[in-house]
């Protein structure tokens, strides 16, 4: 199992030395593990190209099975720990594929990208502007998306689908993309520094902490947040209890 795990971490880190550090082995030991795995399988798994570590065609065919085996093994270990009375970790994702392939137990995802799941919240996305830029627009009036196209856009990426980019495309325009970030706090700071505007959920309490101003948009942008879970039979009791809690208290979330 360690050989399979080494392969996965090498691909994630794109560096054998970093993978070895995570695994707690030396770099030569991890290299030998991969060589041994390739010898067991009878074909090479990895190839280096342009400083990237990629799977060979044979590796691409077999890796989904290796990944599923690792996920199943981890699920087995979690069930064992729960039976023994030890605490377990609940893995939460924001990408549907991670639930589907077993890498996460539960997911909070955009309801527009999945038909499965329980809608637990509706969110309105607002245009977030630095204060100097906000002075160019009337207070308490929605901003047409078309009026933002001359300004730099800082995209908060929260998955494979972007509601804001989709709305821009619906009206036939492209935002002037400057940055793509994966963290809302960093995005707010970039906006505050005047590097551009963003579109994201924003509460009054949060807005008051920064030198920013939020506006509704035309067209309005909204989304639903859905709760997804993997097969109920594979969930630990801890994960099941978490799901029940969310279902019971979804109106307060």
Q: Which two tokens stand for residue 184?
A: 């809302």
- What's the CA angle centered on 52, arms 51 and 58, to 5 degrees? 135
Q: Compute the distance between CA of residue 177 and CA of residue 169 in angstroms, rounded to an integer.
A: 13
193 pLDDT higher than 60: yes
Cα dist. 16→19, 34, 48, 75 in Å?
5, 10, 11, 26
- Per the prediction, the chain carries an average pLDDT of 84
| Residues found in the chain | 253
For the entire predicted model, the pTM comes to: 0.54
64-91: per-residue pLDDT in tens? 899 888 888 877 777 777 676 655 667 6
102-139 tens-digit pLDDT: 677 777 777 666 667 777 778 899 999 999 999 999 98
Report the half-sphere exposure of 119 (CA within 13 A, side-chain side): 10
């Amino acid at each position: 199992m360690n050989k399979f795990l080494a392969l996965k971490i090498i691909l994630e880190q794109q560096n054998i030395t970093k993978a070895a550090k995570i695994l707690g082995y030396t770099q030569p030991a991890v290299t030998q593990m991969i060589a041994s795995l390739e010898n067991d399988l009878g074909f090479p798994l990895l190839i280096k190209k342009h400083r990237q570590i990629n799977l060979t065609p044979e590796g691409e065919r077999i890796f989904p099975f290796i990944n599923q085996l690792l996920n199943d093994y981890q699920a087995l270990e979690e069930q064992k720990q729960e039976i023994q009375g030890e605490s377990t970790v609940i893995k939460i994702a924001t990408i549907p594929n991670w639930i589907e392939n077993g890498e996460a137990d539960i997911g909070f995802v955009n309801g527009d990208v999945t038909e499965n799941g329980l809608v637990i919240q509706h969110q309105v996305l607002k245009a977030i502007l630095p204060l100097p830029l906000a002075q160019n627009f009337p207070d308490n009036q929605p901003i047409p998306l078309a009026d933002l196209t001359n300004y730099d856009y800082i995209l908060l990426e929260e998955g494979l689908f972007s509601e804001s980019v989709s709305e821009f495309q619906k009206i036939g325009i492209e935002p002037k993309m400057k940055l793509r970030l994966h963290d809302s706090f960093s995005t707010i700071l970039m906006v505050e520094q005047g590097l551009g505007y963003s579109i994201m959920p924003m509460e009054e309490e949060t807005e008051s902490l920064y030198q920013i101003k939020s506006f509704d948009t035309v067209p309005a942008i909204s989304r639903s947040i859905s709760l997804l879970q993997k097969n109920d039979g594979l969930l630990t009791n801890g994960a099941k209890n978490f799901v029940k809690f969310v279902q019971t208290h979804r109106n307060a979330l």
